[in-house]
Structure 1
Amino acid sequence: MKVPDALQPEGHASLVSALEQYADNPSAFLALNRDNEYFTCPGIEGFICYRPHGRRWIQFGGPFTDTPSRAELQSQFLEHAHRSGRRIVGVQLQRADAELCAELGLTVNQVGASYAVDLQDFSLRGKRFVRLRNKISRAMRAGLEISEVDADKCADDIETIDARWLREKGKHTKELTFLIGEIGGEWQSLRKLFVGKIDGTAIAYVSYAPVYGSRPGWLHDLSRRLPDCPPGVMEAINSHAIDHMRELGAPWLHFGFTPFTSLDDSHQLPTASRAATRIVRLIADHGDRVYPAQSQLEYKSKWYPTALLPEYFAFDGGISPRSLWSVVRATNIV
């Protein structure tokens, strides 16, 4: 049986339909990023998203298909990779994805977590949000104006903010790839983009992607600001976006995957590598120079998330320096 490993351009419309029906990963919309490839199997609706990197195929999330077909689609993908002389590395797997990979013999380790806020009864009132309210007020007193914008009409502003944001991070800083979303392209109309301006100059933005599944809503994705922004600008933009989302009836706001956070033995699976567990925990404890996990978690914690979702990486054939390097190179995570 011939198994296609990529969709033709005219088949891309089916990707969104599959995500809407089957995706339960808060970051699933990132599967639509440019440069991703898609594995499909005859007779099975849905797909697996991946990117080739050397002798590895880096799989994003689990199989986006109905529950009865998940194991079959994942098995077919593994077999197809092996016939092609490749190994699979799965990233940003949810618990159900991780359990499936473990059942198929892959080494699976928790590498971090994602966080979500239940918006149905959300409010910034109360003592615990005093600091956050003060930061937002400070930004608004500086003259901040926030609006939802068309990405095509503010492309130059976004490019300027991105360039200065990267320069501030240092000449060796690279942008994450694969594990974050993007602005523009075929699916931009499905995202939301909020920009903050002072005196008519764009100084910051936050991009949100739709989330499907058991906790539907929006994913707080790309966020950038100019280095000399007043304090509280990002918080003010997100608060404005939350008000808008609640008006639309969105139940959840997700803050996405943060590597090296909320690690816990209770989250591990039987096929976890002890060596990998030690390495991940070492980075979590001492590796903020490698990846700014704690600063990311501090921002997300300000909103008092109501759901913590452990996330996993899976390694076909066990964890090796080469497989780890494939993940690092494919995602720019360090």
Structure 2
Amino acid sequence: MFRLRSILQDIAIFLSVLMSLMSVAGIYLRHWRPFQAESFYNYVAPYGLMAHRLLAFTVGVLGLLVSVNLYRRVRSAWVLGMIGQSMLFALHLYYTGTVFSLFSLVSLFILLVLGVTAKDFRRVPKRRETWQALGLSLIPFGLALFNAILSLTFLRRDYAGTANFWLALKHSVRFLVLMDTQDAYFVSHMNFLYTVTLIAMSWISLIIAFILLLKPLVINPIVNGRERARVLSLVHEYGQNPMAYLALSKDKQYFFGEMTDGVIAYMVVNNVLVVCGDLICQEENAIVFMGEITRFAHKNGWKLLFLDITEKLRHVYEEFGFGLVKIGEDACIELANYDLKGKKAAKVRANINHARRLGIEVAEYQPLVHRDVAIEQAFQHISHEWFKQKGAELGFMLGDLALENPHNRRYFYAKDATGKPIALVVFVPYEKGQAYMADVTRRLSDAPNGTMEVIMFDAFTKMREDGVLWGNLGLCPLANIEGGQDNSMTTQLMQFIYENMNGVYGFKGLYQAKKKFAPTDWQERFIAYTPKPFGFSYAYAIIKAQNPKGINKLLLEKLRLKTGNRF
């Protein structure tokens, strides 16, 4: 069913591109083949012949932009596509007088496909740009209202149209949208400049609105693609923090050093610049780069907050007067001598044996070597079921499958005795590929006990054979923070949350789940912030950054899961 939907969408988008190209071609055909152009417009875009050929050209150009972003499954492009195809269908119906013309049927097919598969178009532009675009798109209607009022008052002497306000408003909308000055019903040529100016203002507003709506996926991909290539190079060279690879995720913005080669991946929440992990640069240049970052934040009036930083660059943050608070520990395993012998790993060993008796096997999927549609669809299905159980997907500090740009990620998955994939783990590299962290862990609800354990063990075994030195099970939030030297109010608050809000997040369960692997090293992780003290704005920024759908959505999801999906 998924493949059928995808095929129908691609056909509809291809037809939209074809219609748009033909509308654009008409204005050039008129210059080279004027007689054939008349027949062309009658068949392809009769509204371009009876209204204005520039209208058909403009509709074609905008249609191409919309079609490109429909292919990328952009939500705003879907809205514009539905509006545009509805208008085209109405125009064809109006000018041809029949619903059975070829291009009326094409528009109807596109409308049906887009309407039935609306949920597949989920990508959204920035909210601020959306509101700006909506505001600009209302300008033509404001101008139409303005013209209707002027036509019946100050310009009444030159106006030959109706005396009815609503009909005058209808005529105004028509001449502004269809670019036909005759529909303005002005008898004097002195008003020509006025009408052309209104038309120009209307279409300039609409074009800018389209650009704002489509900018995140027309201009930004080109810019971001170049930036991301540079970030990837810096991450490979200087990424000592397990979070470094998450800088490549699409929810990040980048600040590059000017005096030194470095980058941070960040987002802004209210007035707080939130950075994912440490600054990524050569350690010897960290002081210089931090100076650039603090000046950048100060110039924009932002506070600074680094999430999940390591001990290695702690001295840099202290040098600049940052407040530091321990937020947990990464459970790390030195792979050279790692095995599951001994009492500490007894439970993991038992679970792995149980899974193997049920025929569970582990395989590595290598999308850069060979793409397998069936496996990738299985991964998507596992993810969908996982989020139904666990709630909304988190972001910023957690990655995703990233199958379209896997880079050096490693994908290990478990399959049952029938060969069906039932769980997966995605590992991201750091320390120049000498270490890998389990970033994404997902499974089906009916996956047997021991499934995740057998993936982890087999994955780390394979990595050890490949020369990887460290395996990382990921962060245990708020673990062992009571034993540190810091006894500040912030640390005490973190400890209170760990002890009293375990039912909401499951801190203790996560810690125990990783502890049973008998990690050989627990590495401390911190947050760093400036200016001091740690306040509500920082706490809100931490939560908001990791919950892109909003804190209200997070609370509702937790409530729904705790009440057994009764809401």
TM normalised by structure 2 equals 0.54
Task: Show the counterpart of 1:329.
Answer: 544
**Matching of residues 205-224 of structure 1 within 5 Å:** 205-212=424-431, 216-224=434-442
State the alpha-carbon separation in 1 of the partners of residues 403 and 419 from structure 2. Answer: 26
Among 148, 152, 162, the residue aligned to 2:364: 148
Partner-residue secondary structure (3-state), 1:190: coil
> Deviation per CA, 1:172-215, whole angstroms, max 9, x where unpaired?
x33221111221256403111111111232211111111216x9
Among 286, 289, 294, the residue aligned to 1:70: 286
* CA drift at 1:11: 3.8
* CA drift at 1:8: 5.3
State the alpha-carbon separation in 2 of the partners of residues 184 and 61 from structure 1. Answer: 19
> Deviation per CA, 1:16-50, whole angstroms, max 9, x where unpaired?
33223322213321222122111112231121121
8 Å Cα contact 1:109-1:277 kept in structure 2: yes
1:254 aligns with 2:472: yes
State the alpha-carbon separation in 2 of the partners of residues 249 and 182 from structure 1. Answer: 25
State the alpha-carbon separation in 2 of the partners of residues 57 and 185 from structure 1. Answer: 29
Q: Could you say if the C-alpha distance between residues 92 and 131 of structure 1 is closer, same or farther in structure 2, counting changes exceeding 3 Å?
A: same
Q: Which amino acid aligns with 2:250?
A: R
Q: Which amino acid aligns with 2:535?
A: S
State the alpha-carbon separation in 2 of the partners of residues 211 and 64 from structure 1. Answer: 11
1:191 aligns with 2:412: no
Q: Which amino acid aligns with 2:348?
A: L
Q: Could you say if the C-alpha distance between residues 8 and 146 of structure 1 is closer, same or farther in structure 2, counting changes exceeding 3 Å?
A: closer
8 Å Cα contact 2:271-2:303 kept in structure 1: yes
**Matching of residues 1-334 of structure 1 within 5 Å:** 9-150=225-366, 153=372, 154-169=375-390, 173-184=391-402, 187-198=405-416, 199-212=418-431, 216-266=434-484, 268=486, 274-318=488-532, 319-332=534-547
Task: Show the counterpart of 1:4.
Answer: none
State the alpha-carbon separation in 1 of the partners of residues 426 and 264 from structure 2. Answer: 24
Q: Could you say if the C-alpha distance between residues 267 and 308 of structure 1 is closer, same or farther in structure 2, counting changes exceeding 3 Å?
A: farther
Q: Could you say if the C-alpha distance between residues 185 and 55 of structure 1 is closer, same or farther in structure 2, counting changes exceeding 3 Å?
A: farther
State the alpha-carbon separation in 1 of the partners of residues 455 and 347 from structure 2. Answer: 16
The structure carrying a bigger helix percent of its residues is 2
Greater Rg, structure 1 or structure 2? Answer: 2
TM normalised by structure 1 equals 0.89
* CA drift at 1:102: 2.7
Partner-residue secondary structure (3-state), 2:279: strand
Q: Which amino acid aligns with 1:91?
A: L
The structure carrying a bigger strand percent of its residues is 1
Q: Which moved more, 1:160-169 or 1:181-190?
A: 181-190
> Deviation per CA, 1:47-106, whole angstroms, max 9, x where unpaired?
112112222111112221112211121121111111112111110111233432232122
Q: Which has the higher contact order (CA 8 A, sep 6+)?
A: 1
State the alpha-carbon separation in 1 of the partners of residues 522 and 542 from structure 2. Answer: 24
State the alpha-carbon separation in 1 of the partners of residues 344 and 542 from structure 2. Answer: 38
Q: Which moved more, 1:117-126 or 1:185-194?
A: 185-194
8 Å Cα contact 1:262-1:310 kept in structure 2: no
Q: Which amino acid aligns with 1:164?
A: E
Partner-residue secondary structure (3-state), 2:301: coil
8 Å Cα contact 1:27-1:256 kept in structure 2: no
> Structure 1, unaligned stretches of length 5 or more?
1-6
Q: How much identity, in percent, do the aligned residues show?
A: 25
Count residues in correspondence: 320
Q: Which amino acid aligns with 1:167?
A: K
Task: Show the counterpart of 1:3.
Answer: none
Q: Which amino acid aligns with 2:344?
A: R
State the alpha-carbon separation in 1 of the partners of residues 442 and 480 from structure 2. Answer: 24
Partner-residue secondary structure (3-state), 1:48: strand
Q: Could you say if the C-alpha distance between residues 277 and 128 of structure 1 is closer, same or farther in structure 2, counting changes exceeding 3 Å?
A: closer
State the alpha-carbon separation in 2 of the partners of residues 126 and 84 from structure 1. Answer: 55
* CA drift at 1:145: 2.2
> Structure 2, unaligned stretches of length 5 or more?
1-222, 555-567
State the alpha-carbon separation in 2 of the partners of residues 207 and 97 from structure 1. Answer: 26
